[in-house]
Amino acid sequence: MKLEKCITETNVNQNMLNIKYAVRGPILERAIQIERELEKGVKKPFERVVRANIGDCHALGQPPITFIRQVLALAACPALASSPDVPDDVKQRVKELLEDCTKGSVGSYSPSNGLNLVRRSVAEYLEARDGVAASLEDVYLGSGASDVIKAVLSLFVQDVDGKPPAVMIPIPQYPLFSGTLSELGLRQANYYLDEDNDWAIQVQELERSWREASRQCHVRALVVINPGNPTGQVLARENMEEIIKFAYDHELFILADEVYQENIISKPFHSFKKVAHALGEPYGGLPLASFATCSKGWAAECGLRAGFAEAVRLPRAGRAALAAARAVAQCPSVLGQCALHCVMKPPAPGEASHASFRLEAQAARRRLAARALSAHRAFNSIPGLSCNAIDGAMFAFPRIEIPERAQVVAAEAGLQPDEFYCLRLLEETGVCVVPGSGFGQRPGSFHFRTTILHPRAEFQYMLESVRRFHAAFRQSYS
């Protein structure tokens, strides 16, 4: 048929074929197959699959925040306002939100950048957080942080002086960045985090990455993930100052992925905007964009797809391009924007919902802190595994010692050593984690990423499964 040539392996968008997203990659596909096999009665050395591949808090047992869900329910169905069970502050919040919606309905489009009320609440939150002036004109709402990260990266696709553009990203990194760069046709300039120094970012490594990439590309931007994903570190303020000075010296736009700022366990959080401002001129004038989301933190509303970018000191051409792209996308989910407003402006002391909100948010933070400590202790107690302290985010990224014989077997199977390890872990224990090669890592080192969000009993079951498997794996291939 003639139509068979409409899309082929050679004429389809090659950039899209280059996208790799290990979080939902082959290991997860096999885990789903195993779940189906178990349902059909196929015998396995375990009773269930433990999915630890993705940071989906509610899927792993974290209950939603009551205030957010009440606001969403009432916004979607205003007739519920007559119920005596709806707190007064929920009614007032929804009244304000619907007044900002066209015809008072969350089913209508919002402005492409988002509802002004919600953008204003974001600006007020940022100003209170940083002690630095913020404007709603710099705030762009999106369908999750991923949406606006892609929008900002799209600003750098143009060739410069005959050279293709490149963006510096950390290794290990969240594969949203490598995947989006592939989709957009942007070159990827890797810089390695220093695992031996709590995953710090060393300036000499940034210089090496920039220098090597600049031989063939025009390096346009620098991505920093803080708190780290998958690594879980929180950057020291002094380290952030060094990074900002490096970006200024090399005329780089900073993209600060700060989506896990509400998941920090033991250290203070400093935004890149705040640190740049505190450095004063000329560094305070550095253009940058930072990103946050409802999917993480105490809200953890992954499925609502709500997030934002604050793009400060964006030149006029950048503003015009970003505005045009957001207009084409129409608008992010209005219900998601309602949830974001709740996160940016939670119930205040004295309001009807404050007491329950405070208890629920504190419980979420306590669970995360307890799991982080348990994971750190457990992985460091297993011979052949080691794990840096987990300061933020919701993952552990332990380093694995893989015997040389296992590496040979993996190569014969066409797999990376840690991919082979994670596949064996899944087949023998039902625990589904993501190989470190899916995030990038220094050559010769091997890791896996696991969530630390499961309920206590399931979490302990997972850790003990890893402990038993690793001992048997080392013995088998030693």
290-339: pLDDT as tens digits: 999 999 988 999 999 999 999 999 989 988 999 988 888 889 999 999 99
For position 60, what pLDDT does the model report? Answer: 87
What are the φ and ψ backbone dihedral angles of 166, each rounded to 5 degrees?
-135, 155
Confidence of residue 10 (pLDDT cuts 50, 70, 90): confident
Which tokens belong to 438? Answer: 């899916």
Confidence of residue 104 (pLDDT cuts 50, 70, 90): confident
User: Residue 138 pLDDT more than 80?
Assistant: yes
Amino acid at 257: D
User: Residue 8 pLDDT more than 90?
Assistant: no
CA distances from 20 to 153, 221, 303, 444 (A): 17, 21, 22, 21
For position 56, what pLDDT does the model report? Answer: 87
Residue 218 contacts residue 159 (beta carbons within 8 Å): yes
Q: Round to whole Å and give the CA distance between 358 and 342.
A: 13
Residue reference for tokens 């990376």: 416
For position 12, what pLDDT does the model report? Answer: 79
Summarize pLDDT for 401-440 with one digit per residue, the tens: 999 999 999 999 999 999 999 999 999 999 999 999 999 9
For position 82, what pLDDT does the model report? Answer: 87
pTM of the model: 0.92
Of 3.60.15.10, 3.40.50.720, 3.30.750.24, 3.40.640.10, the CATH number of 111-344 is 3.40.640.10
For position 369, what pLDDT does the model report? Answer: 92
Q: Round to whole Å and give the CA distance between 221 and 210.
A: 10
Q: Round to whole Å and give the CA distance between 334 and 112.
A: 11
Q: In CATH, what number does 2-61+359-477 get?
A: 3.90.1150.10
Confidence of residue 37 (pLDDT cuts 50, 70, 90): very high
Q: Round to whole Å and give the CA distance between 138 and 202.
A: 30
Summarize pLDDT for 340-365 with one digit per residue, the tens: 999 999 999 999 999 999 999 999 99
Summarize pLDDT for 147-196 with one digit per residue, the tens: 999 999 999 998 888 899 999 999 999 989 999 999 999 999 999 999 99
Confidence of residue 20 (pLDDT cuts 50, 70, 90): confident
Confidence of residue 11 (pLDDT cuts 50, 70, 90): confident
- Compute the average pLDDT of residues 463-473: 94
User: Residue 2 pLDDT more than 70?
Assistant: no
Whether the bond into 45 is cis, omega within 30 of 0? no
Which string of b and e fits 58-96 if b means at least 16 CB within 10 Å? eebebebbbbbebbbebbeebebeeeeebbebbbebbee
Angle at which helix 145-153 crosses helix 176-184, to 10 degrees, equals: 40
> How does the average pLDDT of the chain come out, rounded?
92
Summarize pLDDT for 242-290 with one digit per residue, the tens: 999 999 999 999 999 999 999 998 899 999 999 999 999 999 889 999 9
- The ranges of the chain annotated as CATH 3.40.640.10 are 111-344
User: Residue 1 pLDDT more than 60?
Assistant: no
What residues contact residue 278 under an 8 Å CB cut-off, 6+ apart?
Answer: 284
- pLDDT > 70 in the chain, percent: 99
- The ranges of the chain annotated as CATH 3.90.1150.10 are 2-61+359-477
For position 257, what pLDDT does the model report? Answer: 97
Q: Round to whole Å and give the CA distance between 439 and 229.
A: 9
Query: What is the number of residues in the chain?
Result: 478
User: Residue 19 pLDDT more than 80?
Assistant: no
